[in-house]
Amino acid sequence: GRERGGEAMEPAHTASSSAPAQPEPEAEPHTAGDKAPESSAAAAASTSSPDTASATATASATASAKRGHQGGERDRKHQKTSEGHCSKVAAHYNELQECGLAARSQSRIFFLRNFNNWIKSVLIGECLEKMRKNRRDIGVLDLGCGKGGDLLKWKKGGISKLVCVDIAKVSVQQCSQRYGDMKSRGHSNEPLYAAEFITADCTKEVLTEKYKDPENTFDVCSCQFVYHYSFETQEQADTMLRNACERLRPGGYFIGTTPDAYELVKRLEASETNAFGNDLYSVTFKKKGDYPLFGCQYDFNLEGVVNVPEFLVYFPLFEEMAKKYKMKLVFKKTFAEFFKDKVQNSEHKTLLKKI
């Protein structure tokens, strides 16, 4: 998680309930961010161990109370970049059909998705637990919220405010509906956090122009399996970072998960062609040996779930870019490393057994 201070990201712990948020059945993998990346990480995990994805988080630890740069220095107008592949991603997730838990449980990637969900639950739960030590009212920004697969995690974490953003309009509508259902089922003695839902391309649009409260600030920004879509261009990657970090309070965290570029390239170079995979997933590059810092596209296909273009994220560059927003790297681990570390905790182990 990253701390607001100077570097890049990693999972940070939190402080709401001492126990990690419980994973809820996900409504099809998340959209533009949450989903595909989940698939990418899952794809690698499906062939061996879940080491093709990195768990990361960003936290604001030493930043000035004002998020330098932000607002004043830059024009708050939308960044004018080409439509690129973002429209394809939005269209893909808008067209995904909702299927029930029973149908999902029959999927060959059911346990893979559950594992990814466990990773997120532990990451989110520990981050909120850490934040709770210093704050009571915790505000969260969920970039790439998808259909709301993490809504219950935020409830378990006892947050006060949530802003959900995604590029896919249909997914945002489903996320809002899911929140409404949670609210109607709740009890008066268990108040649910306030929520706001925004449809926007976080790689091209500045979110400060879209919040109901223009002074909105957050303690945590969560970006699960989404950030890699922004690495199509430098402008898009920077705009996504700006949206993630610009309104973080000093000491706040930016947490997330993303495919591991090193592992993807390693597997590509070991392949006899420009692709690799198995009967569940495939990753296809245009060619070997050419890996630009931005726009290094590959096509990821995961059985019945994801079939969209994605981009490699060179983490050292990402970490350097985050310094612009006063972010400091707290930690970065592969899923395999994260699992090996966190499963030692009895509560985390029990949660894993449940799912």
Kindly report, residue by residue over 235-255, the tens digit of the pLDDT: 999 999 999 999 999 999 999
Share of the chain above pLDDT 90, in %: 61
For position 6, what pLDDT does the model report?
33
The total number of structural domains in the chain stands at 1
Q: Is the pLDDT of residue 5 over 80?
A: no
Question: φ, ψ for residue 261 (rounded to 5)?
Answer: -60, -35
Please report whether residue 108 resides in a domain.
yes
72 carries a ligand binding annotation = no
Per residue in 267-300, pLDDT (tens digit) is 999 999 999 999 999 999 999 999 999 999 999 9
For position 102, what pLDDT does the model report?
60
Q: Is the pLDDT of residue 87 over 70?
A: no
For position 16, what pLDDT does the model report?
28
Binned at pLDDT 50, 70 and 90, residue 306 comes out as: confident
**Residue with more model confidence, 272 or 87:** 272
pTM of the model: 0.75
| Closest C-alpha to 202, from 31, 15, 8, 16 | 31
Question: φ, ψ for residue 266 (rounded to 5)?
Answer: -60, -45
224 carries a ligand binding annotation = yes
Which residues face 14 on adjacent strands? 127
For position 303, what pLDDT does the model report?
83
Q: What is the average pLDDT across 72-93?
A: 47
Please report whether residue 162 resides in a domain.
yes
Please report whether residue 15 resides in a domain.
yes
Structural domain that includes position 11: 2-261+316-354
State the chain's mean pLDDT as an integer. 78
Q: What is the CATH number of the domain that holds 213?
A: 3.40.50.150
For position 187, what pLDDT does the model report?
74
Please report whether residue 282 resides in a domain.
no
For position 355, what pLDDT does the model report?
79
Please report whether residue 274 resides in a domain.
no
- The residue written with tokens 């091209």 in the block is 204
Please report whether residue 278 resides in a domain.
no
Please report whether residue 296 resides in a domain.
no
Q: What is the average pLDDT across 88-110?
A: 62
166 carries a ligand binding annotation = yes
Per residue in 204-225, pLDDT (tens digit) is 999 999 999 999 999 999 999 9
Q: What is the average pLDDT across 64-82?
A: 38
Q: Is the pLDDT of residue 328 over 70?
A: yes
229 carries a ligand binding annotation = yes
144 carries a ligand binding annotation = yes
Name which of 3-12, 44-53, 308-317, 320-329 the model is least confident about: 44-53
Please report whether residue 237 resides in a domain.
yes
